[in-house]
């Protein structure tokens, strides 16, 4: 029975990422978001916030220019920000990320960058595909965590790439695991 519970909890942790672990609804429903952004927008990144309503229900909101439209009975339970820095002269890039919540103990996500189309290459090939799991602080001393991938090559001549994440989660001392839906963004490389 303990193994079954441990397996179930492991699966839930892998599938979720930014939903406060309050008694009513600790995880967001599995939603997917797809947006298109220019490299100028993504130089600073795109941020999604988890908004908790007074009744405990959760919604996800894209934050535009650091503005969040909150009602009096809402609060931001956490955020996850992912951006791409493109080095045009070297045809390289790296993905950077920032997570916020109260007393963060860990951050995990699978981030990637890949071509947007088949012409000139294999759509299945990724320029970068890897896990963010380097942040761990069991005491939860900080409310912000950030990091970046190593630089990776991008085929020269490409005008657009896709970046995204899956299984993003931020763990906290009091809130448990906060979950964020998977996201993929199309970025113009200028």
How confident is the model over 33-70, as pLDDT tens digits? Answer: 444 454 455 555 566 676 777 777 766 666 665 555 56
Quote the pTM value: 0.64
Contact between residue 124 and residue 157 where contact means Cβ atoms under 8 Å apart? no
Whole-number pLDDT of residue 9: 45
- Please report, for the chain, the start and end positions of each structural domain, with discontinuous segments joined by +: 2-188
Whole-number pLDDT of residue 137: 86
Most confident of 10-14, 78-82, 91-95, 135-139: 91-95
- Name the one residue in this structure whose structure tokens are 């009096």: 72
Residue 56 makes CB contacts below 8 A (sequence gap 6+) with 22, 23, 24, 25
Q: What's the CATH superfamily of 2-188?
A: Immunoglobulins (2.60.40.10)
Average pLDDT over residues 125-132: 89
More confident residue, 161 or 179: 161
More confident residue, 128 or 116: 128
Residue 165 makes CB contacts below 8 A (sequence gap 6+) with 80, 82, 109, 110, 111, 112, 180, 182, 183
Whole-number pLDDT of residue 80: 83
C-alpha 70/C-alpha 172 separation (Å) is 22
More confident residue, 42 or 90: 90
pLDDT band at 110 (very low <50, low <70, confident <90, very high): very high
């Amino acid at each position: 029975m303990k193994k079954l519970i441990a397996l179930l909890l492991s699966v839930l942790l892998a599938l979720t990422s930014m939903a406060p672990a309050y008694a009513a609804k600790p995880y967001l429903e599995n939603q997917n978001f797809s947006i298109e952004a220019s490299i100028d927008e993504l130089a600073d990144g795109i941020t999604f916030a988890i908004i908790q309503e007074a009744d405990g229900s959760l919604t996800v909101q894209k934050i535009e220019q650091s503005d969040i439209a909150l009602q009096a009975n809402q609060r931001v339970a956490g955020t996850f920000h992912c951006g791409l820095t493109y080095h045009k002269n070297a045809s390289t890039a790296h993905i950077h990320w920032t997570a916020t919540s109260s007393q963060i103990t860990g951050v995990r996500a699978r981030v990637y960058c890949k071509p947007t189309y088949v012409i000139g290459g294999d759509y299945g090939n990724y320029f970068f595909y890897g896990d963010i799991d380097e942040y761990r602080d069991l005491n939860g001393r900080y409310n912000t965590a950030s990091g970046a991938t190593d630089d990776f090559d991008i085929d020269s001549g490409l005008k657009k790439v896709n970046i995204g994440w899956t299984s993003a989660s931020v763990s906290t001392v009091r809130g448990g695991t906060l979950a964020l839906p998977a996201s993929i963004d199309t970025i113009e490389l200028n």
